[in-house]
A and B are shown apart, each in its own frame.
Chain A
Amino acid sequence: MTRASQSSIEPPRWTHAVLRFALPCDSTRETILGDLHEEFAHDLGEVGVWRARARHVSRTTGIMARALFDSAICRGWASTEGADAGRGAASSAANAAAGGSPPMVLRRARAVLGAAGFPLLALLVVVVGVVANTMMFSAAEPRSAGASSAAGIGAVTLLVAFVAVAAIVLCVGPRWRRKRLRGA
């Protein structure tokens, strides 16, 4: 594969969408996206397209999992404004001091509740609950085979509908938000 054709190969776009969802909107996220892009290009030359893509996906998954975990224990990856302006450590020390304080925790909780992912997560929990209930009652009442199969089909339909809605929200949501911001 030539260098020119390699440069036209991009990492999977959905990984960027996932990171944009999981990471705070600041220079940390932009840097991580750039790093991943650079490493993908580096891997392309070394191990080929498929393994480069696999590595990229593995890195993305690792970063997303860790970012969500850190965010859940109030150690979010958001940069401070001062650091973003290039001033660095002075403001990060202040940020460290404020990291675990109640106002910061409340602000983060509010940000989580206001994020697009929260309704999706809530919906997912409801759907999983409905499916689990249906399966349990279907197993408990094997005599009403017709009713249980109908309930099973209903549960699967609900699950498919949820996945479709989630995909639409994840694909269209960021664009809609960008458009709205541009309009404002």
Chain B
Amino acid sequence: MGRKSVLGEFEQTVMLAILQLGDDAYAPNIARHLDATIDRSVSRGALYSCLNQLERKGLLRWRLDAPTPERAGHARRFYQVSARGVRAVRVVRDSQLLLWRGLEGILGAAK
């Protein structure tokens, strides 16, 4: 195939959560979403580190909204997957689908 994946397993999970959340993707929401959908409790340290790495790889971009009193005057940072990030997720999906193919006999149908 020759297309090297740039995403680790946790990075993939976070990228997919950001894509699913759309305009509402900020760190606490991402953690809640992962907890609610795949029952995965995420350490905040690991999450912020992962978001930082994805940003450094150019797979995420972010914007700040206005500071609010509910957040003690701190702004919220909303993440968005960049075009490069979408391409990376697509590459991972295509590779994974190739590996999943033909395993229904062993694993059963997906839920």
**A residues lining the B interface (CB < 8 Å):** 27-28, 30-39, 41-42, 59, 62-67, 70, 75, 77, 79, 83, 86, 88-89, 92-93, 95-96, 99
Contact = CB atoms under 8 A, between A and B. Distances in A.
Nearest to A79: B55
Contacts of B43: 62, 66
A39 B28 CA distance: 7
Contacts of B74: 30-31, 33-35, 37
- A-B pairs with the 8 shortest C-beta distances? A34-B74, A66-B45, A88-B61, A34-B71, A93-B58, A62-B45, A89-B61, A96-B56
Interface of B: 26-28, 43-46, 48-49, 52-53, 55-58, 60-64, 67, 70-77, 82, 84
Contacts of B76: 31, 34-35, 38
B96 to A, nearest CB: 25
Contact of A27 (B28, B45, B70, B75): B75
Contacts of B28: 35, 38-39, 42
8 contacts: A28-B48, A30-B75, A31-B74, A37-B72, A42-B28, A59-B44, A65-B45, A88-B61
Nearest to B49: A66
Interface centre among A42, A64, A88 (most CB of B within 10 A): A88
